[in-house]
Structure 1
């Protein structure tokens, strides 16, 4: 029978259906469903950066005020002019509905919303309202940002429920990420997916009957604009909806209003005048705006950075810089060139900086600027600088690495084949999906085909990554016919769902595609005729003297990955004069209970040689060709050179390069050296990560080096990979 086992909080639960022959066990799997109790549409960017974060000197807003940053921000954008003579803000004063209309209309205008003519009053009770408020109310109503008709109640304090509809109205006009349908439902868009908010506050459903207002409040939660007012008395399964209160009938003071508006504006393109830049957890987003806050398109921007520990040495006395690290796309350091990114119609450019995928210890400083082609940084250059904290990198997944427990070419009936999915980025393992914030999800389909051609499709399941960025599933097929031999082929398909890297970026360690895979389950006896022969040996050996030793273990496994204990093996070398293994080539050796025999031999050459080991196997004599392995006998590299990387050990910081004339040579690098990746300066972490990936996939990437002196730590060697 097929059993669908789903690992839930209580352990492994079994769901069975009759007359089927396979089992799918999925750790962290769930039926296809929306993820609740999570704000799924937040942003890491902000409108309150650079000059917009400067202190506006309100006398009643202290530097440590909880809403101080938001208050200063809306003052910079002239959304507020303060109270009284403008030197105070009155953060604790309640906001009226008329005042809220003014604030939202001003914010919308700064965010690029274009209002038409004011026209006639849309409400019967606003005739005595001051002119700016009256115009703001009418403009919001005429654009459909708030409902029109009847009374407006301009002097009433605005409630939190009412405020939600104002803010959603703003976003529906200022960004394409939020829309409102004809029925008043708020729809949120991420990528190609548009849907209504899947979370709700229980106290909102109890106190608010209007579905449009309910939808607006839920959407503000999903967008990260509101966090609620506190926890509910009940939590978890005992509390329907979120474990938070919203207090829809509560009022909004001016401090809270500033926070709500700035969080809302973060979802728009509003940014301060000139150049500003932010780190989104993976890349640098540079914004260029004119004096009227309008986006400037086709502005060439340059980005460079440095660990904070090295910031003091970035600039020379004349203001030029030559000790910083370029962004990935830049050809010249601190120079506007043709390879630098250009802002789009929104005035923004996203700049890839591989070194910031893992923020160095102590954090980093990042500089951004714009200028004319061939212009370089000097004393008078206006640079925007910001700091990235050490723990700010979120790890944005760009690929899924799949590993499996399958050792042979087949699996036995009744056994389980395990598959592990690990989220990764260009540097290494990450814990979140492509948005750098939430888990990734995949849709998993499994089909089995037995020896007669009968097809069975298992129920579709959804996998979700855990806190380490992993997800797992297992496939087990039981024997459908105990009276005869046969095979059942199980094929899985992984479809990238919410927040997962695409299928083409789902691979095995060697880079081969892994979004689909097949395993054959069988009850045929283990066979030498279908054996797999492996050679386990060192990839490289450093030749430091005249006597150097190596070992190689030859293992014979049947089609299930189990050892064959009655086999004999032989191992041959292509080095006829410098390897003592040649003396053992004419002898067959029996394997042990693990199916292995270990060969030990001496190398007497001077290095710079590539050894090819060839295994043979059989039952009585080793007369069947088996696997091969390569050993690089390497000596110290010269001061400068280049060649393809063929082996290495990241932990020991050793790399072996096959030099065109010298053969295999070894280099040992350290943190004092300089590193480049594909022509661009990079950090040791990024260099090692890329080197490890190239070694894993055996891509033999080109490595160039200069100023290398073996055994000495004082020279600074420069390495260029790729």
Structure 2
């Protein structure tokens, strides 16, 4: 490693002679070269050592020089900031090192002693056994090389090209350096990952990127696109990995020009195995094992409630150094032949402070046995109402939302429809252009209070738009779904709200979904230019090469392979244009995507439209 940076060049016979002691002259050369590789000032590191240092160099002097190197090469924006205070003490991250070597503390000046302690805390220096450092012991060339190599890992010194390293669980830092190891700013970074156990499946047989990998940077793995991040002035960019239950993932990273595509075996690709364990906790969440849409549980079942510390991007986190504890209060109310409420018979109540385990987790179980197990033929349900409240103790990581009196009801009640989810098969259709109506289909999914599909529910559909016509009601099948067809004769573009409900059931569950009926643009001059204006994208269909935009009402605009596409001012490929549309519109966030165009002549097939997409 040091030879790569030009710190050591060995002897003329091709040997390094690692067991030979380091002379003062050699140490000055080594530290000056190391300082330049780390972006530090050699004068700040060496100072007067050439005249006053030990010869051969001892371990105390070596520790002092390397600590100076780190103090010169790191700053407030560094992952590890080493500072030499005015009182002669080296600090790491703003605090004095906790550890000290017995013999160093007893025999060395405060600056050399704190230098050894700081390097030990950073994993740069190691003792010689028994809690000692042997500060007066001579330094061999092999020891010197090991110390400097470990120190450079805490600086910006990196090999030429791209490197990727993990400093903290759940994130990686990608570095780009030029041929003289200087940081490269504004280098686009593409990064993608897959569970390490599936790393052999990251690429297809033709070398292209598999659909199994997860993009960690832009919108398309294995391609440099305008959404990819760029390195900062220090030539680095840190990426927080997305949520995963995998204990270890393999991350690939590379850099290139906009539009470049990489394949397996490309020399630009580098990879690292990254642990997602041990993530620093920044918060906590509470979940339970109830199925989706479930409000009740059958007697004889159990519900597991989990308190989990979480960190960057929602990854599971480990406890902080001082631990984390939560006050958990549970209470159960039992009722026979009636709904259980907090006014019912109090069956159980407990309050206890529980510490998270080594994985940052607490689990507790709620259960419920039927208070009347032999009430065959009884038409009135029995219930047990559990409520739980979880609150942080002291400085323990907090929840995004309070967890107070969360309800779980155990019962023997017969299933009943309690939830309707409504969905469309497409996001938009073109509105009718004449007297013939256009048909659409929606899917209603009905579940019961236990979160299970409900069969035999009669579902009816309504709309807030004119020209709506539906043939009648539809009953759900064994999967709890009902396919409902309707038609609309209206010719205008609108945003329609559809509502599904249970026929003949007043106050029952309902489900809604919005749908777009789009038309061709009507205002004058649309086909020629928008004059630089942009409009909100409501939907898109890459198969039809269509985008629906908001022109007061939903309107359809079309593109093709002859056009030119720009994203945030940069020319991009058609595939990237469509990928951004899909990613942004399918996301859970409230991102507003804007689209503009110019120079479109529908009567001239050779005319090329310029599309401007603003993310």
* Secondary structure of residue in 2 paired with 1:74: coil
What is the CA distance between 1:92 and its match in structure 2?
A: 1.2
Residue 183 in structure 1 maps to residue 183 in structure 2: no
Aligned to 1:424: 310
Q: Which of 242, 248, 256 pairs up with 1:371?
A: 256
- TM-score after normalising by structure 1: 0.44
Residue 294 in structure 1 maps to residue 182 in structure 2: yes
Residue 78 in structure 1 maps to residue 21 in structure 2: no
- Say if 1:329 and 1:352, in contact at 8 Å, map to a contact too: no
* Cα distance in 1 between the residues matched to 2:57 and 2:11: 18
User: 1:521-670 counterparts in 2 under 5 A?
Assistant: 536-537=409-410, 551=413, 605-607=455-457, 635=479
Q: Which of 98, 105, 108 pairs up with 2:35?
A: 108
Aligned to 2:208: 320
What is the CA distance between 1:185 and its match in structure 2?
A: 1.3
- Say if 2:162 and 2:270, in contact at 8 Å, map to a contact too: no
* Cα distance in 2 between the residues matched to 1:396 and 1:574: 43
* Secondary structure of residue in 2 paired with 1:75: coil
Aligned to 2:222: 334
* Secondary structure of residue in 2 paired with 1:635: coil
What is the CA distance between 1:636 and its match in structure 2?
A: 5.6
User: 1:50-449 counterparts in 2 under 5 A?
Assistant: 73-85=1-13, 87-115=14-42, 140=43, 143=44, 145-146=45-46, 148=48, 151-152=51-52, 156-176=55-75, 177-189=81-93, 194-208=94-108, 210-230=109-129, 232=130, 244-280=131-167, 281-308=169-196, 310-316=198-204, 319-354=207-242, 358-359=246-247, 364-378=249-263, 381-388=266-273, 393-401=277-285, 422-425=308-311, 426=313, 429-433=316-320, 439=321
Deviation readout 1:349-400 (Å, 9 max, x if unpaired): 112332667345xxx44321112222222589543232416x6643332323
* Cα distance in 2 between the residues matched to 1:247 and 1:148: 23
* Secondary structure of residue in 1 paired with 2:16: coil
* Cα distance in 1 between the residues matched to 2:28 and 2:181: 21
Q: Residue 400 and residue 380 in structure 1: after superposition, are their counterparts in 2 closer, same or farther (change >3 A)?
A: closer
* Cα distance in 2 between the residues matched to 1:348 and 1:357: 27
Q: Residue 334 and residue 428 in structure 1: after superposition, are their counterparts in 2 closer, same or farther (change >3 A)?
A: closer
- Say if 1:110 and 1:270, in contact at 8 Å, map to a contact too: yes
- TM-score after normalising by structure 2: 0.52
* Secondary structure of residue in 2 paired with 1:351: strand
Deviation readout 1:136-192 (Å, 9 max, x if unpaired): xxxx4xx3x3563895256x2211111111111111111111111222111222xxx
Aligned to 2:469: none
Aligned to 2:401: 512
* Cα distance in 1 between the residues matched to 2:19 and 2:208: 48
* Cα distance in 2 between the residues matched to 1:467 and 1:270: 35
* Secondary structure of residue in 1 paired with 2:143: helix
* Cα distance in 2 between the residues matched to 1:533 and 1:464: 20
Deviation readout 1:417-452 (Å, 9 max, x if unpaired): xxx97522355643244xxxxx256899xxxxxxxx
* Cα distance in 1 between the residues matched to 2:513 and 2:96: 61
Q: Residue 162 and residue 319 in structure 1: after superposition, are their counterparts in 2 closer, same or farther (change >3 A)?
A: same
- Structure number with greater CO (CA < 8 Å, separation at least 6) is 1
* Cα distance in 2 between the residues matched to 1:200 and 1:464: 31
Q: Residue 270 and residue 470 in structure 1: after superposition, are their counterparts in 2 closer, same or farther (change >3 A)?
A: same
* Secondary structure of residue in 1 paired with 2:138: coil
Q: Residue 166 and residue 357 in structure 1: after superposition, are their counterparts in 2 closer, same or farther (change >3 A)?
A: farther
Aligned to 1:469: 360
What is the CA distance between 1:74 and its match in structure 2?
A: 0.8
- Say if 1:314 and 1:322, in contact at 8 Å, map to a contact too: yes
Deviation readout 1:504-562 (Å, 9 max, x if unpaired): xx11xxx4147xx9xxxxxxxxxxxxxx9966148xxxxxxxxxxx538xxxxxxxxxx
Aligned to 2:565: none
- Say if 1:429 and 1:469, in contact at 8 Å, map to a contact too: yes
* Cα distance in 1 between the residues matched to 2:234 and 2:164: 14
What is the CA distance between 1:253 and its match in structure 2?
A: 1.2
- Say if 1:608 and 1:635, in contact at 8 Å, map to a contact too: no
Q: Residue 96 and residue 466 in structure 1: after superposition, are their counterparts in 2 closer, same or farther (change >3 A)?
A: farther
Q: Residue 146 and residue 636 in structure 1: after superposition, are their counterparts in 2 closer, same or farther (change >3 A)?
A: same
- Say if 2:185 and 2:232, in contact at 8 Å, map to a contact too: yes
* Secondary structure of residue in 2 paired with 1:199: coil
* Cα distance in 2 between the residues matched to 1:679 and 1:314: 22
Aligned to 2:606: none
Gaps of 5+ in 1: 1-72, 116-139, 233-243, 404-419, 434-438, 445-462, 473-491, 518-531, 539-549, 553-571, 576-598, 611-631, 640-656, 662-677, 682-693, 700-722
What is the CA distance between 1:106 and its match in structure 2?
A: 0.7
Gaps of 5+ in 2: 76-80, 288-305, 327-353, 364-390, 419-448, 461-475, 484-509, 515-580, 590-615
